[in-house]
Structures are given as structure tokens and as C-alpha cells.
Amino acid sequence: MEMTLEYWNELAKQTLLVSSLLSGFSITVVANLLVSDRKDKLTNLILKSSTFSVGSFLVTVFAMVNIVMTTTPGGYIKNASINDFQVARFIGMLTFMLGLLSISAMISLSGWTKSKKVGIFTTIIGILTLVLIFLTMVRFST
């Protein structure tokens, strides 16, 4: 089944919204870690993960803007087809998935800065969150 341009337009708008919110959240974590006095390996790993998350979601935002602009009726490309945004679609979906992986890693690692118990809890929550997100994204056929 081929998706229509209208469907891609709506999908891009929703992905754009989610990516914007998640990149904002990740930027907040990065900013807080940059002003933090902690300089240990774990904090640096969380900083790297959240920075990667920010970058991934920002790339997704701009890829989805490209798709929205391409698929909007009367937009800058007349008689657009799915081939007009193949690169943006591939890059956007790839970076969205990478952003989800890195934000889940950030969640998982965050508790280890407090204690082993909290670290185990946040790791379980991070993995469970990622699994549930991916399960909601998969289409199950009956």
C-alpha cells in the first residue's frame, strides 16, 4: 500500500511536533549538565547521549519541514510525488529513531549518578520506554 501525499504531510507534521518537544527536553538536559560541576565519566556519557539526541531530533525537525513543504498543496513543488522527498524521508526517520535511542540511553544512565538502586530503576524504565515506543510504531497485521 502506497501512502498518499496528504498522509505524509500529516505524518511529517506530527513527527515535527514530537521531535521539537524531545529536542527541547534534550537541550535542557545538555544546558544543565554544561553548568554542572560534575566532571565524571558517567556525567560525560549522559552529556554525549543528550547532545546526540538534540542533534538527531533537530535533523528530524528540518527533514520533516522539508516533507511538509513538499507535500503541502500549492507548495513550492507543483505536482509533487513521493520521490521528491525520499532523502528527507530516509534521513528524518533514521535520525528520529537514533534520537529515540539516545534519549532512552540518557534516561537509563541518569539514575546511576545517584545510586545503584536508582540506576537499576532508571535503566529498566529507559529500556521499557524504548520497547513500548517501538511496539506502538510497529504495525501488526492480523
Q: What is the pLDDT of residues 9-61, one digit of tens each?
A: 999 999 999 999 999 999 999 999 889 888 899 999 999 999 999 999 999 99
84 within a domain of the structure (yes/no) = yes
Query: What pLDDT is recorded for position 118?
Result: 96
Q: Is 25:57 a contact under the CB 8 Å cutoff?
A: no
Q: According to DSSP H, which parts of the chain are helical?
A: 5-35, 41-71, 86-110, 116-137
The number of domains in the chain is 1
What average pLDDT does the chain have? 91
Task: Give residue 130's pLDDT.
Answer: 94
Would you mind telling me the total number of residues written for the chain in this entry?
142
Q: What percent of the chain has pLDDT over 90?
A: 73
- Residue 56: inside a domain, yes or no? yes
* Residue 123 within a domain: no
Q: Considering only CA atoms, which of 133, 85, 86 is closest in space to residue 107?
A: 133
56: left (phi over 0), alpha (psi -120 to 50) or beta: alpha
The whole domain housing 52 covers 5-102
